[in-house]
Structure 1
């Protein structure tokens, strides 16, 4: 061969290799065997992929390779959270960590007691390690993604067979790959060559529980359009031990593969039957090595797909480069090899999230973690887009002009495509998936809608125009739990009659393109589940708002009466019912005095036809806003009033709740409520109407209503602040310049003056002044303000400056103040991984979310889970995993209060708290906890008896788990019977010695009781809805023997006077609880 030809060929091969990418199958907690450098084989749980792995013991403790001993040891985390540190305590899969804790070695026991389950290093460090691994693996390549090559993507006319997208490789016909079997001097083969031939090629294969061979899998998902077989070699014995190749990160696999190929070339192996690309590269090279994965500190032999420098077959233009490598277990499974051959054969990319921030398509696709379905023995099919790209799917194009009823059969490679004519990389694919064939392990069934953008990546879970998945499953329940990393795919993510029957620009999820523009795809009347489903394509409907809030004034005068009195109505136009406790209504007022709550009554839920469903409870809070804010010329706000609800769901399709009546007053009862007629929420109309000055929220998010032109409708309410409640600059004055200024304001402000001159530099001066009332401005300025001043005040601020008086100067004055503190708030989300009614283990997955504007010390937070013991044996609580969303790992304490209460039929409560050194939970941050409760004898629980148990397999707001800050309940509802006497012993006080007088009371109340010994005293006062309104704490040293008297001014913890009604006084001393009823009549 001439030197010119050799040079040309070298350049050609090099350019081809530039397109190689590294892929691997994901691990999501599967139990696998690892072979350590000392030769030991252990079982572990694995999360991760070729680029990064987290290894755990079978009982959930993180492990790491100890570089000094070569052993797999229990791990702790470095002080900066960036690395795992070996404890030096060897892992043994035959015993749990608890077994080791109670061993005879006190040093080991002390170390292990400090360990926490499921610990992880910082997410940013994981991303960094992934990127470094990508660079180092085959680092002699510059490897952009193989999918960067763009091909023509033709658009088809309506109702014609759609052209195949040429972005990936078409695979129709017969293809032959090579399967190279490798063993090691220290790792013999346990699976024979004949067994591996059957594994790859046999029709009717079912060894080791597999549902077919590799060949059968691809025949099935291609509707017999691809017949893929492999020539299987004899076992080659590697030159070195397995650990030699595993430890050479970035080159070990390439060295092993090259070594094996050169051996078979030397042995004149017949490669003539192998299928190649046009350039001679062998399409499919499968490397299968004997035994478990070799694991040291990482492993170059971790199953993956990538490329090596070209190895040529002499006398031909054929060469090897792209490959996949997998280990051969004692019971081989087909899932991983099917996944890796998806890369080799068709060029499909991974559809999982490398960084672990989301599960990608999780268990719903071969190219995510669906290769592990049924333990990897029955991997699920891939999506319609990939099958279309491979040339297997019969796809019909739709567009916005297409109307009518359409039918689609299940699992037969039929699909509809709706193409974005302006961006050919984007489209929707619609198919019918049912539980048979290669969709038998699909986690749900029904009409399946994929949103495809081949410029995206399933490493991007952000759901923004710039960052989103390559293939997204349109999750019919609208919860987006894949992107939000809440759970995997379930049956509620598919469309069918009985779940969700429409998909369009006005639904959730919607059919808009990623840039937010309407696609024109509007699917209605989706049929019930069947092997031949139907749906209708219609014009975009003229829809009502999904949730509609109406209000009317029922007071005498909207502005200057002594009470603010309104009625509310909420209408649910969505198809699904909406829990009333997920909704809140907010209003905003301006007042120098407190906004006091006289009451919030009524609220009855009806169906759209007026059938009674049930009553609701309403709760009202008032708090001072962070900043005064003015949104319009005559509307101001500095106080926010929130109404929350408790009760049943509002039925869909026009169900409503009406008769919610609210009464507020300001300061004293006779004070005019809105004397200036300038409150932000100023309701004048006495007929129910939509009003943009009162807002409706669902799960703390402002509800977006929509009209037919796809523009947002503002009548759900505009909060009078931006997301951060930051007001615009406050006062701008342009006076004639003098050295003494008199300025009007209302509070103690700090003013920053900026002087600008065309002839001299800018000066910035800061002065502080306290103002007193007057009615004078000197000089009279032109003013624009966005912080309200209801009276005029005269401060005197003397400013010394050197500016020439004839120069033009501008004074900008910015007024700020610090408000009183706002009560911290949390909410609790919950799901369980065990929905079985009869079970020996209660599994809890909790998120404690700080939804206030300030940080909360974790040590002040506690959570209670209420349940029944069912049988008389010891309950044990275990914390499996705890961390904040900022990846700060926690070590909470969990205690079980047993037989101390019998509240609402519940005789157990799990109390979860956090240690003093746990730090803070910042605003919008959450602490995530994974907990278990079980008996010491593993007896069963009946979860339907448990108050806090919920039928939720993804995170939901859950009011039956209660949350507390400094002992005060701020979230959820405790079991009923709270007002019932809970006296268990009478060691400290007697009920007959607990007094409240006067009772009924109008102005104040005296709480009197007698102590037999000094004790810490917790006094909690609840309204009739079991909502804590007041908390009083007396330390032991401040209590006294004999008579104790506590004065209560009838104000709640927000310093607002309470309304008339019945309240429950609860006094807790040590473990004893005493109650008394208080009647307030003013």
Structure 2
């Protein structure tokens, strides 16, 4: 039986109890100082679980603990990992001839996937682990009103901060902000995408000067959580006992854990990828408690010479709203949402790092920011149909939910390249296929799949991170067969189990701020069908061992079973913290039927054997 706690999350198509989080890198450059004092520039492709590091000429590199520096790398004999060649970068005057003109070959996609899983398993077992691979969260909840976070700025005895406290405060909190090339502040972003429902501000401390020089904390022989967390704890102790900071003023979750804990430190990371002071998000261990509240997760990053809001906003999506990442950790694809959402790659591009794309409609809905209209008449008896329209950035969206699986739905919204969406790659009608059972590690069954208007699925095939033909526009159609067949991993309106969802969209208008389309709900799919086998006195719960949310209407059930047995049928509703019977059919046979006028609520069906055994078929219409 489902618990009440799990039931409370169903209406929002909840994200998994454990939300995934990692910082993405797209040819991101950073500088590293070798043991001989020479500074080299390296380029990252990947994320916190696995990233390939290369020199400008395309050669792979890896941190060599024995040499205490970055060494040229090669694929191991078994093909499973990268290993050091024993030659420090910069030790050769010219690249090897085999690498000139093309990047050195790295691991296969299969080997990368294995490295990702290895790193995630390690992080789960590591106390506080770098970017806790699966960040524990409560069920997603609406987040609105004033949310107050804390940003601690830190410098070092041998490296003072060059970006002032006032600059950091403006970066986080100003509503008219354009420094460092940003189009808005962090607060401005969340005000914009939430329709002014969320006002996320940060209290910024004065500079805390660390106890030791920067090199101590930036030690690349240690995991990024070791000295980073030592530094964070230093700063928190300083805030409590020397500054008298009142931590109770910060916004917490239901467990009295601080939602937004952010650390900025002076200069660059001065560390190898995933080591020393490398930017990351993790759980602070041991946790710090004061004034009746405690720490949970934090994000830490270097300030460098300028500030861009993209990564800070993406990480706040994890900290503040519990949204998971939407890109593929193992690098076998670019995900499906790709650059069209902030939790994909929509915060790290050349321009959208300064003006990130909004969260996709589903994330806005579970945060409580969108007014969502249910279009499936099987769930909403008053669902609109015919000629409909949607306006980009309007704080609204449509969805078409699977009556047999409350975790699955299509979300529909217009995206116009203006306002918060100005840095999108395309404009038109966006259709998102959402199923919380999916995972971003599987590009062919992700949590959120973008239904690509061109049907090409370029991001899934790793061709790009989205392009100008991905959204639906004039003359576009979205049905059970169009744009193309599921057998070719195409784009269409089938549920993940291959059944017809009944969603029919056609006659889409030209891209504009408001897009109109025709929703044809006259032809509905056949009743949902469930089959199973019962032994004597056994019972089974449908649909598929679970339950569903229903807005109200008539539920029709027909059950057929073996003539030699007596199977019965009932409908149960979640009432007062328990499943309670609301309708029953128990004739002395295995043929039963129920037509029940249902109000709004959570329901399930029970098929049970009064006597005998055999197979049954249950047909459900709503």
Aligning the two structures, in what range does the TM-score lie when normalised by the shorter sequence?
A: 0.7 to 0.9
Hey, what does 1:136 align to over in structure 2?
122
CA-CA distance at 1:63 after TM superposition: 2.4
What is the distance in 1 between the residues matched to 2:265 and 2:17?
A: 26
**Residues 22 and 306 in structure 1, CA contact (< 8 A), matched pair in contact too:** no
Deviations 1:217-244 (CA, angstroms, capped at 9, x unpaired): 1111111111111001122222344444
Equivalent residue runs for 1:20-169 within 5 Å: 23-34=21-32, 41-81=39-79, 82-86=81-85, 88-91=87-90, 100-101=93-94, 111=96, 117-137=103-123, 139-140=126-127, 145-146=134-135, 167-169=139-141
CA-CA distance at 1:141 after TM superposition: 6.0
> Quick one: which of 189, 211, 219 aligns to 1:217?
189
> Quick one: which of 212, 215, 227 aligns to 1:252?
227
**Residues 282 and 320 in structure 1, CA contact (< 8 A), matched pair in contact too:** yes
What is the distance in 1 between the residues matched to 2:461 and 2:272?
A: 33
Unaligned runs of 5+ in 1: 1-17, 102-108, 150-166, 543-1082
RMSD, aligned CA: 2.7
Structure 1 SS opposite 2:339: helix
Unaligned runs of 5+ in 2: 1-15, 379-383, 485-490, 525-622
Hey, what does 2:421 align to over in structure 1?
439
> Quick one: which of 477, 480, 492 aligns to 2:454?
477
> Quick one: which of 496, 500, 515 aligns to 2:497?
515
> Quick one: which of 324, 342, 361 aligns to 2:317?
342
What is the distance in 2 between the residues matched to 1:264 and 1:132?
A: 37
CA-CA distance at 1:114 after TM superposition: 6.0
Count of residues in Structure 1 that have an aligned counterpart in Structure 2: 486
**Residues 71 and 84 in structure 2, CA contact (< 8 A), matched pair in contact too:** no
What is the distance in 1 between the residues matched to 2:133 and 2:171?
A: 33
Q: Which has the higher contact order (CA 8 A, sep 6+)?
A: 2
Structure 2 SS opposite 1:363: helix
CA-CA distance at 1:129 after TM superposition: 3.0
Deviations 1:297-321 (CA, angstroms, capped at 9, x unpaired): 641533322211354444x321112
Deviations 1:169-223 (CA, angstroms, capped at 9, x unpaired): 3111111100011223444322111111111111211111011111111111111
Deviations 1:125-152 (CA, angstroms, capped at 9, x unpaired): 4333323333333713697845775xxx
Hey, what does 1:526 align to over in structure 2?
508
CA-CA distance at 1:78 after TM superposition: 3.2
What is the distance in 2 between the residues matched to 1:28 and 1:51?
A: 14
**Residues 30 and 43 in structure 2, CA contact (< 8 A), matched pair in contact too:** yes
**Residues 73 and 82 in structure 2, CA contact (< 8 A), matched pair in contact too:** no
Distance change >3 Å, CA 30–CA 191, structure 1 → 2? same
Equivalent residue runs for 1:863-878 within 5 Å: none
**Residues 502 and 525 in structure 1, CA contact (< 8 A), matched pair in contact too:** yes
Deviations 1:1009-1055 (CA, angstroms, capped at 9, x unpaired): xxxxxxxxxxxxxxxxxxxxxxxxxxxxxxxxxxxxxxxxxxxxxxx
Distance change >3 Å, CA 363–CA 414, structure 1 → 2? same
Equivalent residue runs for 1:166-177 within 5 Å: 167-177=139-149
What is the distance in 1 between the residues matched to 2:40 and 2:175?
A: 34
State whether structure 2 residue 153 is matched by structure 1 residue 181.
yes
Deviations 1:389-416 (CA, angstroms, capped at 9, x unpaired): 1111111111156531111111222210
Equivalent residue runs for 1:345-364 within 5 Å: 345-360=320-335, 361-364=337-340
**Residues 47 and 329 in structure 2, CA contact (< 8 A), matched pair in contact too:** yes
Distance change >3 Å, CA 180–CA 124, structure 1 → 2? same
Distance change >3 Å, CA 395–CA 21, structure 1 → 2? closer
What is the distance in 1 between the residues matched to 2:318 and 2:286?
A: 18
Distance change >3 Å, CA 41–CA 227, structure 1 → 2? farther
**Residues 19 and 324 in structure 2, CA contact (< 8 A), matched pair in contact too:** no
Distance change >3 Å, CA 21–CA 491, structure 1 → 2? closer
Hey, what does 2:210 align to over in structure 1?
238
**Residues 147 and 168 in structure 1, CA contact (< 8 A), matched pair in contact too:** no
Distance change >3 Å, CA 191–CA 67, structure 1 → 2? same
Structure 2 SS opposite 1:528: coil
TM-score normalized by the length of structure 2: 0.73
Distance change >3 Å, CA 74–CA 135, structure 1 → 2? same
State whether structure 2 residue 237 is matched by structure 1 residue 262.
yes
What is the distance in 2 between the residues matched to 1:282 and 1:519?
A: 41
State whether structure 2 residue 286 is matched by structure 1 residue 286.
no
State whether structure 2 residue 367 is matched by structure 1 residue 367.
no
What is the distance in 1 between the residues matched to 2:112 and 2:90?
A: 23
What is the distance in 1 between the residues matched to 2:212 and 2:104?
A: 35
Distance change >3 Å, CA 35–CA 391, structure 1 → 2? farther
**Residues 19 and 144 in structure 1, CA contact (< 8 A), matched pair in contact too:** no
CA-CA distance at 1:255 after TM superposition: 2.4
Hey, what does 2:441 align to over in structure 1?
459
Distance change >3 Å, CA 301–CA 471, structure 1 → 2? farther
Hey, what does 2:469 align to over in structure 1?
492
**Residues 49 and 354 in structure 1, CA contact (< 8 A), matched pair in contact too:** yes
**Residues 185 and 238 in structure 1, CA contact (< 8 A), matched pair in contact too:** yes
Distance change >3 Å, CA 424–CA 147, structure 1 → 2? farther
What is the distance in 2 between the residues matched to 1:121 and 1:474?
A: 30
Distance change >3 Å, CA 33–CA 280, structure 1 → 2? same
Structure 2 SS opposite 1:535: strand
**Residues 180 and 234 in structure 1, CA contact (< 8 A), matched pair in contact too:** yes
Structure 1 SS opposite 2:163: coil
Distance change >3 Å, CA 452–CA 39, structure 1 → 2? farther
What is the distance in 1 between the residues matched to 2:275 and 2:128?
A: 19
Distance change >3 Å, CA 258–CA 19, structure 1 → 2? farther
What is the distance in 2 between the residues matched to 1:146 and 1:421?
A: 30
> Quick one: which of 470, 478, 483 aligns to 1:503?
478
What is the distance in 2 between the residues matched to 1:39 and 1:185?
A: 20
State whether structure 2 residue 250 is matched by structure 1 residue 274.
yes
Structure 1 SS opposite 2:180: helix
Distance change >3 Å, CA 38–CA 273, structure 1 → 2? farther
